[in-house]
Amino acid sequence: MIQEGNLPEQPSSIAAPFIFFIVLTFQLASNFLDQSKRRGCASDKEIQLKGEIKQLLKEASTMSQPSTFAQAAKLRRLAAAKEKALANCEAICNQESQNKEIKLSYVVSQKVLLLAKVFTYFVLIIWFWRAPVAAISQQLVQPFGWNHTLVDIVYQSEQICFWVLQMEDMISSEYVLVGY
């Protein structure tokens, strides 16, 4: 059993934070594209209407007394009317030909981002194929009987698969020879 004071030191690697930063950057870029696509062509008028609707609903919710019920109902009706105007404004925006160009630019941006992700992940896999990116303390995995790194396990499984394929080839070639 390894004592607490005699733990072997793992070499410090910058690979794990580097890979984490790259994956995080791609995720944030993807989320940014999705949010900007959902926003669409929000004009100044739409933004102003949304702000007014929020303000009217906030004022209506503060009026909870029976004496101010009529005024609160009036504010809610006014907010509903502004929501209809906002819906009409959004419908007009969706019918414009410019909207097609915007959607096309989002599709192209998403495809470029996807290709960049695939290429970058492929390069990272090739770069760090035989190098451990992160290490787990042996004390943590010792109860499970794991004494090897993940890279060793993958390598050993490749060797076993290669050996099994060779054995299958040898067996099938023996049967072919016997058949003649």
pLDDT digits (tens, 9 = 90+) for 56-115: 888 888 887 788 888 888 888 888 888 888 888 777 666 665 667 777 788 888 899 999
pLDDT, tens only, 117-146: 999 999 988 888 877 777 777 777 665 655
Q: How confident is the model at residue 5 (pLDDT cuts 50, 70, 90)?
A: very low
Q: For residue 64, what is the DSSP state?
A: -
Task: Sort 145 into a burial class: Cβ within 10 Å, 0-12 / 13-18 / 19+.
Answer: exposed
Q: Which residues have a Cβ under 8 Å from the Cβ of 102 and sit 6 or more positions away?
A: 40, 41
- The C-alpha atoms of residue 4 and residue 138 are separated, in whole angstroms, by 12
**Tokens representing residue 120 in the block:** 């970058």
Report the pLDDT value the prediction gives residue 2, as an integer from 0 to 100. Answer: 45
- The C-alpha atoms of residue 152 and residue 11 are separated, in whole angstroms, by 17
Let me know: does 22 contact 120? Beta carbons within 8 Å: yes
Report the pLDDT value the prediction gives residue 180, as an integer from 0 to 100. Answer: 44
**Tokens representing residue 159 in the block:** 């060797």
